[in-house]
A and B are shown apart, each in its own frame.
Chain A
Amino acid sequence: MGVTLIEFSLDKRSGVATYMQIVQQVEQAMRLGRLTPGDRLPTAAEVVGRLAINPNTVLRAYRELESRGLVEPRPGLGTFVRRSLARPRDPALERRLAAWVRDAREAGLGPDDIRALVESALSGGLIGEATA
């Protein structure tokens, strides 16, 4: 057994099915570059030994990730990350976002306000957004 690279956590009040929470957390870790091609996902036994959930839930999440082409099972070895979802880092972009978040906080916005603004901007709902 190799080292455990990521651990899952569950939000029982989110209304999102448990297996889908695991799928989303793997995808998130891949996007952030915390999981890269060749990394082994924790085994079902490792996951349920921490979360006290049904092992079939973990296997279902891994099957879903496999059908999305993100991971592949290697019999007897485990389930491995197949590709990268991480984009090349853009320090300038990250600096501007950090500055913007700081401005938003100083303007008195809380995390939920900030998330709502970002969601709105993503869906094109902010006034003054460039359409060209």
Chain B
Amino acid sequence: MSKKTLIVIGNGMVGHHFIEQFVASSAASDYDILVFGEEKQLAYDRVHLSEYFAGSTHADLAMGTENWYAEQGIELHLNEPVTALNRDQRTLVTPKGEYHYDELVLATGSFPFVPPIEGREHPHCFVYRTLDDLDAIRASAKEGKSGVVVGGGLLGLEAANALRSLGLQAHVVEFAPRLMPVQLDADGGALLRHKIKELGVQVHTEKATTAIVAGENARLRMNFSDDSHLETDLIVFSAGIRPQDALARASDLDVGERGGIVVSDQCTTSDPHIHAIGECALWNQRIFGLVAPGYTMARTLSSVLNGDSDAAFTGADMSTKLKLLGVDVGSIGDAQGQTPGARNIRFNDEQTGHYRRMVVSEDGKTLLGAILVGDNSYYDTLLQYALNGIALPDNPEALILPVSQGGAPALGPDALPESASICSCHNVTKGDICCAIDAGSSDLAGVKAETKASTGCGGCTALLKSVVDNELEKRGVAVSKDLCEHFPYSRQDLFHLVKVNGIRSFRTLISQHGKGHGCDICKPVVGSILATCWNEHILTTDNVPLQDTNDTFMANMQKNGTYSIVPRIPGGEITPDKLIVLGEVAKEYDLYTKITGGQRVDLFGATLSELPEIWEKLIAAGFETGHAYGKSLRTVKSCVGSTWCRYGVQDSVGMAILLENRYKGLRAPHKVKMAVSGCTRECAEAQSKDFGVIATENGWNLYVCGNGGMRPRHADLFATDLSDDELICTIDRVVMFYVRTADRLQRTSVWMENLEGGLEYLKQVVLEDSLGICAELEEHMNGIVDTYQCEWKTAVEDPGKRKRFREFVNLPEQRDPVQQWTTERGQRRPVLESV
């Protein structure tokens, strides 16, 4: 049987999700699949579009790759708009040709509505929908000082934030009397307005724009119906969306009065071979302008095409939780209280800027909806009550009262029914999670991989963890956090014990809080903690036996027992004179020489007894230890930056040197790498480092917790447009919080993945000081900077410490007979007889 052809028009988030679902289904083998996209890029995450201005690229936001499509055998036609449908012949037409289909999926999405205002065609008027739109806005903003967003809804406020991040004075103009009129009520809208104003965004409500004309002091002037006006350099329209149904209209499919392709519960249009999903589809007279309902439609349609007669789209929850300009806003279910007989419970604290409203049923037993402004930590619990119809407690007001006033604890994971939806992006219920655990997933990472839960928007991370932990606990799985047989504590526990009790030696710690004499697991951990807390030399008598050999001898042991040496070359900048010294020393001791990935020079093959002599020479030439042997800062890689590069916007080398000199020597749970790029071209590869800094025209963007190596992880954007001082202060806090809370040998990337609350939590701790520890973290870091010493300088000057470097204490001239050498490519390398 020859294959049928399935064509998907539209390569947005919903279209892509449909493809993902469909290719994984059994029906996929019956079809050749073609995808047509109007934009030149592959599907990308429009929900996080504003991050594009904060340094993200299309690749960061992309949902898939061209390779993936190719591997699935899908024919991808990007940048090829479909211009017509011939339903009789079942073909579609593009500028490049005519294509036959057996089944057609319309996932054409929506387009921004631009109100019919005179002058709206002005070149500095934009919409906010695609990466191309954002590129155009960015170009226009370069020469401008101010920008106006028309529309105070969810997307409008996102756009205002984007304008602010481009350095513009941002204004929001809204026709309704309040912001976010769909999701919020008057009190919530007023509070949001107040908070946004504090952030420097001007809000103008009840303004109807009548015309856009040339301005006097700026490019444009907006005239309003109340005879007032506003001057601005650019305008972004964000006044709602309209379903993209042009193809459907032109081919006489049923469409709604106000737009939208009419679909059945099976997501099929008035033509049985044509289907529609996402924002272009009109179901039950409703358009769903959020991504989660679109995903649900995509899954439904995939099941329908697989012959599942029960599959049906039955509407979707439109609850949303988001951070707008740093302000938490949440809206659940019937937020406006339109259900007959609905009653309200409100909590409004104007002093702290918190507003919460619950809409409950007439009998007070179920939660119909809710509004949150200022604190979304109440959202998950309220959503579960509303979605699952869980009976409210006798004192429902406790659910929105501040915790200190006797508020109810969050709904425990045990109270959730099996059907409770935990991850709405991937439609994962508590029952699915239990199944995954019963099938063998034994930790959070396993459940995530098995169910895909929490891999979409990530909003359910904390809830997922609590469900998984609770279910594992119920099954008797206990994960021991003991470091080793000597200490019944985690690294974080030990850190607190050392710090709080002022413990300065391993012996004291193990006699008071452990048992036995220690081992190669706990000793280096304690050595590192003592170094972080008190910053004493690692070769004091008490500290020597705690260190791994690399730390003990301050060099990296190689396979034949010799060592390699990496002097510090901050930021990779080195004078010719110093480079010559490295060459001369390497030549004198016949050291194999290699350039490292971290812009330094590694000298291999030094014997134990040669190390102090070599370092004497290096120190005399101005070198310091590079800590290549330690669990500490390695290198701060940099590109050449604005000093030389025609694209550079900041002095990346200068910043790299500053950072390297600040954090050098700090002992951490694992090694720490940093990099500074002078522009968004990112030549220093900062987004693969623990701490990555990328220059912007306004300062620095900070990325955290990236990793290269065995398990690459793209760093998370943490803060944008920081000044030099802000950057250092922010890194200080994150570094110290990591050092204090991470597990043994846990890189920042894994630390982040295991951090409860993830990136958002870290931002709260570091940027909002939610734990009230930032001053302490900074003070601790400053103390370490002030007591820095070059360990090698101290060691070579101290005869007692130098004694440690004797190869054989009773026979100084004896060479190690195992160390045999040969020559390869002009350099010495070891020959080691196999044993």
Chains A and B form a bound pair:
no
Residues of B within 8 A of A (CB): none
Chain A residues within 8 Å of B, Cβ to Cβ = none
